[in-house]
Amino acid sequence: MINKAEKLAQAIEFTHLDNTATIDEMKAFFAKAKEYPFYAVVVLPHFVKLAKEELKDTDMKVVTVIDFPLGAGNTEGKVAEAKAAIADGADEIDMMANIPAIKERDFEYVKNDIKAVKEAIGDHILKVIIENPLLNEDEMAGASRMCEEGGADFVKTSSGFNGKQHFHSLMESLRIMKKNEPHLDMKAAGGIDNYKLANNVLAAGVTKIGTSSGHIIMDQLNHVLDNQKVDPNQKTGPRLI
């Protein structure tokens, strides 16, 4: 039976998207990832081959990002980038939705952009980042609908490069997303940096969390679980934040 720590780790996509990272720094990141049973690592396309090699003896998937983080590239470029990432060994793709098209309410373009990438990668999972910190409610709703109509598997809250949503704003954006794409899974990213927040977004219906703080979140949960072993009457563990 899967325990609480394993269940949380399987919801986390441990992320390193620093475009100044060296190979040695990425290898250190992969070594850290191996300490936990994470679902996946998320890396830049440049490091997909390295990730596959470093993690070949694990069950972790390799996820990479497309048209990241601006979300202003054309469809042809996204398709080519996605195909190259899959050829390099990427298991899943997190693509940016076209942000200018969303802001212009050109949702047909947004849908066709998503559809083209999904068709290009076939059975590989596609998550679409709609960049909620830049959007109002109507734009979030429209973009979420296009993720579903375009054939994506997930809709994702943000890249993490345009600011962190405050808790209530994040919860409201998740509500809007789910209302408008009821058949898709949701991924939360951008400032999910502690166990309490991770637990809250999972309770709100998120199934995957993208975070560079995956090791911190797991260590905090393990701290709670260790305290519960000492005092079985303590239901929630010490306050972490």
Residue type, 88: D
Residue 192, number of CB atoms within 10 A of its CB = 27
Helix axes of 167-180 and 137-149: crossing angle, nearest 10 degrees: 40
For the question of residue 187 being annotated catalytic, the response is yes
125-129/40-43 β-pairing: unpaired
Active-site residue, from 61, 67, 94, 113:
94
How remote is the C-alpha of 87 from its chain's centroid? 21
Q: Residue 69: is the preceding peptide bond cis (ω within 30°)?
A: yes
φ, ψ dihedrals at 66, nearest 5°: -125, 135
Active-site residue, from 78, 111, 127, 187:
187
Place of tokens 């999904």: 118
Helix axes of 137-149 and 107-121: crossing angle, nearest 10 degrees: 40
Strand partners, 129: 96, 156
Q: How far apart are CA 131 and CA 140, in angstroms?
A: 8
Active-site residue, from 78, 111, 156, 208:
156
Residue 165: closest CA among 190, 194, 128, 137: 190
Residue 157 tokens read as 């809250």
For the question of residue 32 being annotated catalytic, the response is no
For the question of residue 156 being annotated catalytic, the response is yes
Catalytic (active-site) positions: 94, 156, 187
